Structure 1
Amino acid sequence: MTKEATGNLAQVIKENQEVLLNGWLEGMFSRIVRRDRAAEAEMRDHAARFLPLVAEAVEQGGSYDVALASWNEVRRLLSEISQSRLRQGFTPVETATFVFSLKEPLFRLLRTRMASDTIALAEEMAETGALFDKLGLFTVDEHLKGREQVILRQQQELLELSTPVVQLWKDILAVPLIGTLDSARTQVVMENLLQKIIDTGASIAIVDITGVPTVDTLVAQHLLKTVSAARLMGADCIISGIRPQIAQTIVHLGVNLEDVITKATLADAFQVALKRTGAGVAALLPA
């Protein structure tokens, strides 16, 4: 592509910025189902910033290659726009429409400017169309990356919420586990439990697996790691929720839990923990 070809686009944008802006916004707003004044004001601001950045990038680089350094500011703005649309609940397609809506009013101006040279016009429109397709796809990619980050953050938050450490009594903690126990969740369990042991000075931790559907070799290893970590911090562990089928599975797997106290229910484990701490619960006599 020649400097002259890219110069046509830059000049059209610079000389017709207000006309382009109005035509562009009109096209964008006509495609929006959910009308919101705050969102439309933000779109107008983004559009007003986008046009001069594109013209500058074309002039500086003399190319429509959006990977060049001359397009850094354009990419930065599109990334900002994508993240903003993501927070507002827009889809990737709706986000890309921000860029694609500019093509129609821009093509009208190019046809007027280059009407006398149809061959150059056809080439310019093809190159310009490809340019804005790339920029639109860039917004989709940034939108998807942002959504992946949100999902990962939410997964981490759910892990935190699904592995609470509860103080049942002075010196006694409980970790009720529900669902599958994998490596990532085991790490969260250990971190939360160890921090709680430090905060409370607890000497016993009850790990309740009543809500764990199945126990295989990997789950058993995760439990042993948690027990070992707690012991290193000065707290003994009791595993409760050992149902008959889980007991058989552990035996068949050959997992050694001989040095770990196990109980069928959380209540049984709590009674053992009370005795080991020298505490007890007595029934009140009727008045």
Structure 2
Amino acid sequence: MRTTEAAARERIAGALRTEADDIADRWVQLQLARAASGDGVGESALREEADALLGALLAGLEGDLPVDRVFTGHQALRQAVSDLSLRRARNGVTPTVTSLAVMALKEALMEAVQRQTRDGDELFAASVLTNRLLDTAGALSFETYVDGREEIIRRQSRQLLEVSTPVVRLWRQVLAVPLIGTLDTARTQVVMENLLEAIQEHEALVAIIDITGVPTVDTAVAQHLMQTVNAVRLMGSDCVISGIRPPIAQTIAQLGIDLSTILTRATLADALATAIRLTDAAPALTGPGTER
């Protein structure tokens, strides 16, 4: 069995050595004909993928790795499959279609092997080995695609959170963060990071967090707000929470949440008036280029 597998491995490697260009062309044609590449992956990109993957596959087969570990254990080959999968993930192609694109290489590779030999036993052994190799490659591409797609989604979610939580400079040394929608842990973290960076950048003395657009405030939301206020205070700034409407005030009271240590105002206008008083009461800054 080992001898047969070794012979089949050498037969496939021989086909890759002598017919790499033909195999690559055929693989690209199969993908285009079956629309397996999906939108956004052109013929030139497919050919680059094919050349990279086939070159790495030959190197993997010529190495000492067992057949079942050629794709997962050979760094260049694993990278080639990963690049292929991630490119399709960025273009929105489904993981199933991506795996089928890899599987199409079976046909192209076996056609080349058939041109090398007509012996039935050799062809059968080469076919079995090709299936084992590329089944592993298909599973690897599926796994890589899913991981890459999740990373893209996480990055896009982060970008959406940053867009939905802008820090606005109202005037010198006064910032505001108008919040709209649900406030959860991830969003609060983004609010805190962006606000602290803005405080440092603008040397702000007052930061207003307006929750007029936040539909409900529960214990978790209140805790998030308190953490943000504490972080702002550590930066040496005052923090005012505005938008405490009657229903929210009633909910906070019923939950027994203590916001007595936090400066709150019913409306944004009230918070702005408070910010004016706080900045006017702050010690005058001195030094070259200081504005007052």
Q: How has the CA–CA distance of structure 1 residues 75 and 185 changed in structure 2, closer, same or farther, with 3 Å as cutoff?
A: same
Specify the alignment match of 1:43 in structure 2.
Answer: 46
Does structure 1 residue 277 correspond to structure 2 residue 279? yes
2:184 to 167, 182, 185: 182
> RMSD across aligned C-alpha pairs, in angstroms?
2.6
Question: In the aligned structure 1, how far is the partner of 2:268 from the partner of 2:62?
Answer: 72
Q: State the 1:10 CA deviation.
A: 1.2
| TM superposition shift of 1:71 | 2.5
Larger displacement relative to structure 2 (147-156 or 31-40): 31-40
* Equivalent position amino acid for 2:15 in 1: V
CA 221–130 in structure 1, closer or farther in 2 if over 3 Å, else same: same
Counterparts in 2 of 1:243 and 1:22: CA distance versus 1, 3 Å: same
Match of 2:245 in 1: 243
Answer yes or no: is the 8 Å Cα contact 1:61–1:70 preserved in 2: no
Q: Which moved more, 1:90-99 or 1:207-216?
A: 90-99
Deviations along 1:3-57, whole A, 9 cap, x unmatched?
A: 2231121122223334323322221221128898982012112212322322231
Aligned partners of 1:60 and 1:70 also within 8 Å? no
Single out whichever of 204-213 and 184-193 deviates more from structure 2. Answer: 184-193
Compared CA separation, residues 79 and 263, structure 1 to 2 (3 A): same
Cα distance in 1, alignment partners of residues 131 and 261 from structure 2: 71
Q: d(CA) in 2 for partners of 1:12 and 1:137?
A: 24
Deviation at 1:177, TM superposition (A): 1.3
Following the alignment from structure 1 to structure 2, what is the Cα–Cα distance between the partners of residues 21 and 232? 61
Flag the 1:8–1:219 CA change in 2: closer, same or farther, 3 A: same
Deviation per CA, 1:116-144: give whole Å up to 9, x if none: 343x5333312211211211221222222
Q: Deviations over 1:96-115 (max 9, x none)?
A: 33322221232234345454
Q: How does 1:26-41 map to 2 (within 5 A)?
A: 26-32=29-35, 39-41=42-44
Q: Deviation per CA, 1:222-257: give whole Å up to 9, x if none.
A: 111122222222222221111111111111121122
Give the match's secondary structure for 2:240.
Answer: strand
Letter in 2 for 1:59: E
The residue number in structure 2 matching 1:254 is 256
Q: Secondary structure at the match of 1:242?
A: coil
**1:67 to partner: Cα distance:** 5.1
Q: Aligned match of 1:116 in 99, 114, 119?
A: 119
Q: Contact between 2:68 and 2:136, CA under 8 Å: does it hold in 1? A: no
- Percent sequence identity is 43
Give the AA of the match of 2:55. P
C-alpha distance in 2, partners of 1:157/1:35?
A: 26
In 1, the alpha carbon distance for the partners of 2:102 and 2:233 equals 58
Aligned residue in 1 for 2:234? 232
Question: For residue 170 of structure 2, what is the aligned residue in structure 1?
Answer: 168
Aligned residue pairs, count: 278
User: Is contact 1:6–1:63 with CA below 8 Å preserved after alignment?
Assistant: no
* Residue type of the alignment partner of 1:75: R
1:283 alignment partner in structure 2: none
Match of 1:4 in 2: 7
* Structure 2: stretches of 5+ with no match in the other structure: 282-292
> Could you tell me which of 66, 77, 98 is aligned with 1:95?
98
Q: Distance in 2 between matches of 1:133 and 1:176?
A: 52
1:96/1:140 contact within 8 Å kept:
yes
Q: Which residue matches 1:79? A: 82
Structure 1 residues 273 and 25, CA, compared in 2 at 3 Å: closer, same or farther?
closer
The two structures have a TM-score, normalised by structure 2, of 0.84
The answer to whether 1:153 aligns with 2:155 is yes
Amino acid at match of 1:144: V
* Structure 2 residue corresponding to 1:22, chosen from 11, 25, 28: 25
Partners of 2:269 and 2:226 in 1: how far apart? 21
Question: Within 2, Cα distance between the matches of 1:212 and 1:61?
Answer: 61
SS state at 2:253 partner? helix
1:57 aligns with 2:60: yes
**Corresponding residue of 2:129:** 127
Tell me if the contact between 1:163 and 1:176 (Cα under 8 Å) persists in the aligned partners. yes
